[in-house]
Amino acid sequence: MAQHIDLNHAGPDELASIPGIDARRAAEIARYRAEHGPFHSWEEVEQVPGVGSTLTERLRAEATLGEAEDTEEIEEIDQDEIAALTAIANLDLEAALVYEIVAELASDGQLRDMLLSFADDHRRHVEELDRVVGDVSGKAPDRSHPAGGTLVGLATTIGALDIDAAVETLVSNEELTNGTYETAMWVVSLSAAEPVLKKNASDEQRHLRSLLEYQQKRDTEGAGDDER
């Protein structure tokens, strides 16, 4: 039951089952704990963004604070996991650039708006993943150097020749990011990363569905033109 949940041990999903704690506050509690260590007092719980004194009073009746010294081994910082989150953010950043490039080349306004919205999603993913990395490791990734890669050059070249071929490139890229997030949710154990990975993965699935629907629509329209 909720009153037995230990704020120093519980993961985001378990925290979110406490009355008054939604998914956002659960993620903030996990993030604060990862950055500052276990809670030593209820006054410290009040410092978590979105909690405050009123909700803390409710928590005192519904939850507990485990012994601080027992929580040091809860979540060790795994440098391989930090590197994985950074690599995923790099992939998201390249995907954002590719979407922006193809959107600029698209003559279809509806397609352009869709691609730009996907680019915004990917840039948000980068910010959220970088925030988790910074909170957990104490050092956020350096984004001062411009991103780019083979996919960026490919999208620029193909998009200038054939927008449908460029969309096919975007589909392939989304299949890659979908697979990457699916794997990350399985192998990354950092509690602060869990809600971010889950939300971002949902965005990636939506992107892929939308691109496939666009392709299907274009194929249908092309078949209609051939019949005429």
The residue ranges of every structural domain in the chain are: 2-70, 79-227
pLDDT value at residue 71: 38
What are the distances in angstroms from CA 216 to CA 47, 101, 137, 141, 203?
Answer: 51, 22, 44, 39, 20
pLDDT value at residue 224: 52
Query: Across residues 77-97, what is the average pLDDT?
Result: 89
End-to-end CA gap in the chain: 66
Instruction: Examine the pLDDT at 116 and tell me if it is beyond 90.
Output: yes
Query: Across residues 77-82, what is the average pLDDT?
Result: 82
Express each pLDDT in 14-71 by its tens digit: 888 888 888 888 888 888 888 888 888 888 888 888 888 888 888 887 888 876 444 3
The CATH architecture that domain 79-227 belongs to is: Up-down Bundle (1.20)
Query: Residue 86: which residues within 8 A CB-CB, separation 6 or more?
Result: 129, 130, 133, 141
What are the distances in angstroms from CA 116 to CA 14, 15, 95, 102, 109?
Answer: 35, 35, 11, 9, 11
Domains 2-70 and 79-227 share a fold: no
Q: Are 46 and 53 in contact (CB under 8 A)?
A: yes
More reliable by pLDDT, 78 or 150: 78
What is the average pLDDT value for the chain, to the nearest integer? 82
Q: Report residue 22 as tokens.
A: 């939604």
Range list of β-strands (E), 33-166 = 63-64
Express each pLDDT in 122-153 by its tens digit: 999 999 999 999 888 888 888 876 555 555 55
pLDDT band at 228 (very low <50, low <70, confident <90, very high): very low
Residue range 2-70, CATH number:
1.10.150.280
pLDDT value at residue 74: 40
Q: What is the pTM of this model?
A: 0.62
